Amino acid sequence: MDMDLIPAPAHTGDDGRRGFLFDPSTTITADPGTEGTERWLRSTLGAAFGLPLAPGGSGRAENAGDAGDAGDNTVRLRLDPALEPEGYRLTTGTGRHVEITGGSPAGVFWGAQTLRQLLGPEAFRRAPVSPGAPRSVPAADITDHPRFPWRGMMLDVARHFLPKDDVLRYLDLLAAHKLNVFHFHLTDDQGWRIEIKRHPRLTEVGSWRPRTKHGHRASELWDETPHGGHYTQDDIREIVAYAAERHIRVVPEIDIPGHSQAAIAAYPELGNADVVDTAALSVWDTWGINANVLAPTDSTLRFFEGVLEEVLDLFPAATSPFIHIGGDECRKEQWKDSPAAQARIEEFGLANEDELQSWIIRHFDTWLTARGRRLIGWDEILEGGLPAGAAVSSWRGYRGGVAAAEAGHDVVMCPEQHVYLDHRQDGGPDEPMPIGFVRTLEDVYRFEPVPPGLSEEAARHILGTQANVWTEVMQNRARVDYQVFPRLAAFAEVAWSPLPAPAARDYADFERRMSAHYPRLDALGVDYRHPDGPLPRQKRPGVLGRPLDGPPPNV
């Protein structure tokens, strides 16, 4: 059955039944545990259609097992542990009701996302176009479940800060595409974005840089306006709670030991002061791989233990079992020149600077494990040896992920060659600020997270995949939208939908279904890249936050 759903469900069908009509008397009944989806349906569909969607009364608690006692004209939310945990079954039309049954509360919520798509683009608006008008959903019988348990997007707010409301909006966009992990890149050389009460200078100093390079590394264009911002601890708690209501886990990232100039600018003692004047450092105002790394001292370890204590309090284990510590692009020249770093290598009998980084990673792996959390880092943490329980984000192609999985480590596949959404979407001259590989919508759609040749045992360690959004050239929300969409929709299908047999996805069918999805994105106010090219979307002044006549030279 053709319903133009994205991501495509595992199985769809109908038996010729009539569809279901939402009207002012439609009610919702919910099993215990599904009340969050009930509230979400009322706040989204109710607002979009101007309908009360009142509680149905019966069909809850004691009567949840009897399909007939909730009456007609009802949306019924049910739990059935026989289904896969995030799986669901959606039926419409039988006895004039809609029933969403999930293997868990998350499964019910993902079924509600499908119901919203079936109701058309009007269901994605915040207020009704025609208040109170009946809204029909076609007859459907959908059985669905995700391919991977980790379906994520990483958002870098360190290079360009996004206000809290923009972050909440992206959580809604992830949920609409059945993505369930939000990797929150909170610290880097160019900014520290999370309030740490015991170390206030991290945000007082580290969250602001004096200026920003406009474009990529070769650019000589500068925005002389100071740039910055941070999230208070209450902001973080709100973001985490908002994500949890949408069954999205938040993975905070605190970069250690590289990508740390903002922290060193705030607290110079964290740097290698025996080889560089750390007191003269400011928050970095350009892009690239920075030479300033953390000093491998006991006081640095204690400092970041204090940081992580507050991070663990803000990101509870139930919703944030993984803590990302970065570990990527750690230049080691300062350690080679530092007598203090060399003394540490000798003290612990380490072979070289790679093992010194591994010693730091192992320290925090032990520290996090003792507190019931799991460490995850970029694939450079494999260098010098990896702690047994650590997981890997494989970004430098497949190789690191394959090595980690074959060694028994869990892996999230996010190779830059395929799913770095800051990379250009076309090779033409009109693409704004083009960087990286050309990766079209079709390229992302054909990405396969499980590398060929991986052993069956190792394949079980592929937790899933995520798309990464680095924001060096994304200075505002509209610019992020342009890079992320529509490619995130293609990625969502890769992460959720079963791999066809033979293993080749039908891009022509996906492209056809996207023709129905673009109006949904329009209703959500997403400034996506137009499928016909960049110019149709750029005709609106200011969408990209700069003159829209193509990129400046040499960027």
pLDDT in tens, 52-75: 999 986 444 344 344 444 578 999
Query: Is residue 485 situated within a structural domain?
Result: yes
DSSP string, 468-493: EE--TT--SHHHHHHHHTTHHHHHHH
Q: Could you report the average pLDDT of every consecutive run of 10 residues in the chain (555 residues)?
A: 87 80 94 97 95 74 43 93 97 86 98 97 92 82 97 98 98 98 98 98 98 83 95 98 98 98 98 98 96 98 98 97 98 98 98 96 97 97 88 96 96 97 90 86 96 93 98 94 97 95 86 97 95 60 34 29
Domain that holds residue 479: 148-163+390-555
Query: Is residue 262 situated within a structural domain?
Result: yes
In this structure, the answer to whether residues 134 and 191 fall within a common structural domain is no
Task: Return the CATH number at 31.
Answer: 3.30.379.10
Query: Is residue 171 situated within a structural domain?
Result: no
pLDDT in tens, 356-378: 999 999 999 999 999 999 999 99
Query: Is residue 382 situated within a structural domain?
Result: no
Task: Return the CATH number at 555.
Answer: 3.20.20.80
pLDDT at 492: 98
Enumerate the β-bridge partners of residue 183.
154, 251
In this structure, the answer to whether residues 338 and 468 fall within a common structural domain is no
In this structure, the answer to whether residues 218 and 363 fall within a common structural domain is yes
Query: Is residue 5 situated within a structural domain?
Result: no
pLDDT at 432: 82
pLDDT in tens, 448-504: 999 989 999 999 999 999 999 999 999 999 999 999 999 999 999 999 999 887 768
Going from the C-alpha of 371 to that of each of 31, 237, 308, 366, 485, the distances in angstroms are 34, 19, 11, 9, 37
In this structure, the answer to whether residues 192 and 305 fall within a common structural domain is yes
In this structure, the answer to whether residues 251 and 135 fall within a common structural domain is no
In this structure, the answer to whether residues 64 and 31 fall within a common structural domain is yes
In this structure, the answer to whether residues 241 and 347 fall within a common structural domain is yes
pLDDT at 15: 62
* Total structural domains within the chain: 3
Q: Which of 372, 400, 424 is the last residue of a domain?
A: 372
Question: pTM of the full predicted structure?
Answer: 0.94
69 touches 59 (CB < 8 A): yes
In this structure, the answer to whether residues 136 and 158 fall within a common structural domain is no
Contacts by 17-20, CB closer than 8 A, 24 or more apart: 17/92, 17/93, 17/94, 17/139, 18/93, 18/139, 19/92, 19/93, 19/136, 19/137, 19/138, 19/139, 19/140, 20/92, 20/93, 20/96, 20/97, 20/98, 20/136, 20/137, 20/139
In this structure, the answer to whether residues 156 and 218 fall within a common structural domain is no
Query: Is residue 535 situated within a structural domain?
Result: yes
In this structure, the answer to whether residues 201 and 278 fall within a common structural domain is yes
Residues 6+ apart with CB under 8 A from 523: 121, 122, 123, 124, 125
Query: Is residue 550 situated within a structural domain?
Result: yes
Catalytic residues: 188, 259, 329
Query: Is residue 6 situated within a structural domain?
Result: no
Q: Which of 372, 399, 427 is the last residue of a domain?
A: 372
Residue type, 32: P
In this structure, the answer to whether residues 340 and 434 fall within a common structural domain is no
In this structure, the answer to whether residues 364 and 482 fall within a common structural domain is no
